[in-house]
Amino acid sequence: MYFRLTRRQAHGQTYTYLQLVEAYRDAGKNHQRVLLSLGNVEQLRQDGQLSRLVQSLQRAAGCPAEPAPQMLRTERVLEYGGVRLAQRLWEQFELTELLTQLFAGRRYQFDVIAAIATMVFNRLLAPKSELGLFAWRDRLWWPDFAHAPLELAHLYRALDALIEIKEPLEEALFSRLRDLFNLEVDVVFYDLTSSYFEGDGPPMAAYGYSRDKRPDRRQVVLALACDKHGFPVAHEVLPGNRADVSTVRQLIDALKQRFRLRRIIFVSDSGMVSKDNLQALDDADYEYLVAVRKQRIVDPDRFAPADLSVYESVCHRVRAYMAAGDVPGTRYVCCYSEPRAEEERQIRQARLDRGQEALEKIANQVASGRLREAPKIAAKAATALQKASAGKYFECEAADGEFQFRVNEAQLVAERRLEGRYFLFTNAARFNANDAVEAFFTLQEVERAFREMKDFLRLRPIYHWTDRRVRAHILVCVLAYLLERSFSHQLREAGLEMSPREGLDWLNRVHASENKLGEMTIWTVSRPAPKAYKALQAVGLRELPSVLGNYEPVPSPESTEPEEH
């Protein structure tokens, strides 16, 4: 039996009646018959009869008829939305199934996949050290934890297990990535960054060129290759003293042998340009597009005509001029950007102003007799110009009690001739000027990946002191970046002008609450805000449940002895 609402039209109005109905079968067919008609619902509500009927049914069912306010209380509030998104992204890449296959035949005394997922989710949602991860875990509604109690030692051993399957994992994810988003990888973007250590770091840490502006700290070098959509394809962790140029052949071999890429176009910034690197690309039958510093252009007038009318308008508010290179089959692309030209003019003028002001102060000191010796005058002028980043713009002459300076007009003429211009060099026959500029601008996706891993995913500080666990920690960060980039791609495909960080911020406001009603426990989910709901729709989660099953989080270990890591 069940209650049914029946609507009827009479005198131009609609009336709703409450009926008690019984379902039965006769001759193999389903039928219903009305046992009792209780009347007009609105009249029953106004008379209070509907409430009394509900209370009677609650008493018959053994439930309190009218729970007192003190009987309803909220016990706990846990984070739900962010971890549900992370779980969805994890499921899209079928990472649980993939890791299960890669770990086949290996036996662990704990749930190694849950441990890896925990570290990746933490890096994506709220980066902490492995030890700090447990306090974060206690704030989550994630039933998988109930079946996977973890200790600190389990996380360290999971890192050891993860780094052993790095290469087959990257290859499988690359294949899954192409299937999931229907991507064609024909352009690979390559860049390097460094991450320093407080203290000595692992054995592979060494002093080298620091992109963090910390030459006083040992570091490791991270080489990352991404496709044109910014998805990571492969990465390598190298000793901190490895030069940029020495990493190219290693990555080429990895791309060619491991990923079976028959034809790619290798795009990189000016820091990777050398004869050896370009020769390595030619030997591997790879096409390339690289930036070239202005200082390396022997004949700027040939490749950078002053007449802008010969430049072709291309993408990103850039005009480009393409000319044949000195080597057969190569071409130079001279790009001109008015915003870039204006920026260079402002920077140059600021340096000129700072240099002029500093030198005038020195000239006044010399004229007043406070500064007389020629070596001291010259040294002070050199220091002042260095601080102002204006040394190339001035010529100075110092003698005892005398000081003169003038602007280097030849330097200004040379810079004005090339301001707003930058150069690309390619052997890719199929590239036109627009393709070259578009590909080079996409290189910024790799640079953004580094920023995301350093800032958003907090690659640093690294709390490990062995090479394998440093490599494993960075692999966890790359996996988290893969999920973040997937989220970004799906937001864009859904037409949402929302960054992944903004989407996660909205979803982290969705919570699961444990409510007690008498002896009953009810877990409910807060209603997502409109932006959070749109972010969920973008990844295929049409709605979140309003009521969840019962859940008892696993308490974090009270004390864990950290092992050497």
Distance CA 70, CA 414 (A): 81
Q: Tokens for 103, please give them.
A: 């770990």
Q: Tokens for 11, please give them.
A: 């005198």
Judge whether residue 1 has pLDDT over 80. Answer: no
Q: What is the pLDDT of residue 385?
A: 96
Across the range 308-329, mean pLDDT stands at: 87
Higher pLDDT, 282 or 126: 126
Distance CA 431, CA 439 (A): 9
Distance CA 353, CA 392 (A): 13
Judge whether residue 115 has pLDDT over 80. Answer: yes
What does 219-243 look like in DSSP terms, one character per residue? Answer: EEEEEEEE-TTS-EEEEEEEETT--
Structural contact between residues 553 and 524, judged by C-beta atoms closer than 8 angstroms? no
Of all residues in the chain, the percent with pLDDT exceeding 90 is 40
* Unique residue bearing structure tokens 């992204």: 89
319-324/331-336 β-pairing: antiparallel
Give the pLDDT band of residue 117 (cuts 50, 70, 90): very high
Q: Which of 188-197, 224-233, 257-266, 406-415 has the highest mean pLDDT?
A: 406-415
Distance CA 143, CA 92 (A): 19
Q: What is the pLDDT of residue 160?
A: 95
Identify the three-state secondary structure at position 430: coil
Higher pLDDT, 148 or 182: 182
CB atoms within 10 A of CB 4: 12
Distance CA 110, CA 529 (A): 38
Judge whether residue 562 has pLDDT over 50. Answer: no
Q: What is the pLDDT of residue 70?
A: 54
DSSP 529: P
Higher pLDDT, 133 or 271: 133
Structural contact between residues 288 and 296, judged by C-beta atoms closer than 8 angstroms? no
Structural contact between residues 304 and 334, judged by C-beta atoms closer than 8 angstroms? yes
Per mean pLDDT, which range of 166-170, 221-225, 353-357, 465-469 is the poorest? 221-225
Higher pLDDT, 276 or 154: 154
Judge whether residue 398 has pLDDT over 80. Answer: yes
CA distances from 413 to 386, 408, 409, 410 (A): 21, 9, 6, 5
Between helix 500-507 and helix 530-538 the angle, nearest 10°, is 120
Identify the three-state secondary structure at position 122: helix
Across the range 474-492, mean pLDDT stands at: 93
Judge whether residue 68 has pLDDT over 60. Answer: no
Q: Express the helix, strand and coil content of the chain in percent, nearest 5 each.
A: 45, 25, 30
* Unique residue bearing structure tokens 């009394």: 52
Name which of 183, 118, 492, 140 is nearest 500 in CA terms.
Answer: 492
Q: What is the pLDDT of residue 506?
A: 95
DSSP 1: -
Task: Give bridge partners of residue 313 from the DSSP assignment.
Answer: 319
Order of all β-strands in the sheet with 511-517: 72-79, 511-517, 520-525, 547-548
Across the range 138-166, mean pLDDT stands at: 86
- CB-count burial class (<10 Å; 0-12, 13-18, 19+) for 69: exposed
pLDDT tens for residues 293-309?
887 787 788 888 888 88
Name which of 559, 267, 220, 256 is nearest 442 in CA terms.
Answer: 267
Per mean pLDDT, which range of 7-21, 127-141, 230-244, 265-279 is the poorest? 265-279
Higher pLDDT, 367 or 263: 367
Across the range 499-524, mean pLDDT stands at: 87
Distance CA 396, CA 373 (A): 15
Give the pLDDT band of residue 63 (cuts 50, 70, 90): low
> In Å, how far from its chain's centre is CA 34?
61
Q: What is the pLDDT of residue 560?
A: 47
Give the pLDDT band of residue 561 (cuts 50, 70, 90): very low
Judge whether residue 107 has pLDDT over 50. Answer: yes
Q: Which of 45-49, 279-283, 453-457, 540-544 has the highest mean pLDDT?
A: 540-544
Judge whether residue 461 has pLDDT over 60. Answer: yes
Q: Is the peptide bond before 375 cis (omega within 30 degrees of 0)?
A: no
Per mean pLDDT, which range of 81-90, 214-223, 456-465 is the poorest? 456-465
Judge whether residue 7 has pLDDT over 80. Answer: yes
Give pTM, 2 decimals. Answer: 0.74
Per mean pLDDT, which range of 46-50, 53-57, 142-146, 199-203 is the poorest? 142-146
Distance CA 163, CA 97 (A): 17
Name which of 444, 476, 443, 483 is nearest 458 in CA terms.
Answer: 476
**Chain mean pLDDT for the chain:** 85
Higher pLDDT, 448 or 118: 118
Across the range 91-107, mean pLDDT stands at: 94
Higher pLDDT, 275 or 501: 501
Judge whether residue 54 has pLDDT over 60. Answer: yes
Name which of 170, 415, 424, 387 is nearest 288 in CA terms.
Answer: 424
- Rounded to 10 degrees, the C-alpha dihedral 160/162/168/173 comes to -160
